[in-house]
Chain A
């Protein structure tokens, strides 16, 4: 409990760490999501072109 209390600074310390890790995880997730969406969009485009040629 003493550790969690952070000498009376609990809400400041934990919120700073919480927001930091949340933003880092969100940044990682959003970048990967964008990458996967880009790949899927381009793949659909290629498949569409191939289909049109047949």
Chain B
């Protein structure tokens, strides 16, 4: 049952799977991005209150969702790395951080652009906005901590602890609009009853979220491959791969 898990822990095996999957994920992401953008900008009707300004949600919500998803991926991978001492898991965590930081940055910037016409301000020290900003700082802290430590094993351990401790911020971001008084609107998609958004506005949003998710995985796989090459630079399979272009069948 755990065979697939142990196989994934093998750097050359993971590298091979990542190289094969990556183009498929990327092309699927591009197609869905185009479809979602067309649906969001052209087909979805304007909001009765926010007019066409609401269309910013088609880039804001996927960015915010992916920033949290990237952080959870980083924290889970860090925990797996610490528990099973799995090199590939540390690579997943390290490669997730810059992508997550970019999504958190996008969530904050697109949120500010939406906030100006709707709330009359670019920024407010609101619980949702502040906790998202803390998420960006956690990603940056993780990246800088790894860069500051020259010893890879020490960098893996220290950054993993930071990632695991910081995961507490993810439920805080999600529930901040319910726990505290917030100018940010409540959850529209992930809630106990049905989504509070009409179907013709919802489907482009769901397509955009899937597109961003696929793009995240495509970029993540490239990042993981870079990490694997750097960590395994002295191994035989990397030597074979770089000189012949293929990984030897016997490499595990």
Contact = CB atoms under 8 A, between A and B. Distances in A.
Interface of A: 3, 6-9, 12-13, 15-17, 19-20, 23-24, 27-28, 31-32, 34-35, 38-39, 42-43, 45-46
A19 B63 CA distance: 12
Contacts, number: 90
B56 A19 contact: no
B37 to A, nearest CB: 7
Contacts of B113: 12, 15-16, 19
Interface string B89-110: 0000000001100100110011
Interface residues of B, number: 39
B55 interface: yes
A20 B110 contact: yes
A9 to B, nearest CB: 4
A9 B51 contact: yes
Interface string B1-43: 0000000000000000000000000100000000001000110
B116 interface: yes
12 contacts: A6-B52, A6-B55, A7-B46, A12-B53, A12-B113, A13-B55, A13-B56, A16-B110, A17-B37, A23-B106, A43-B242, A43-B243
Given A17-B59, A23-B102, A24-B215, A7 B51 contact: yes
A1 B223 CA distance: 41
B229 interface: yes
A46 B243 contact: yes
B226 A42 contact: no
Contacts of B116: 12
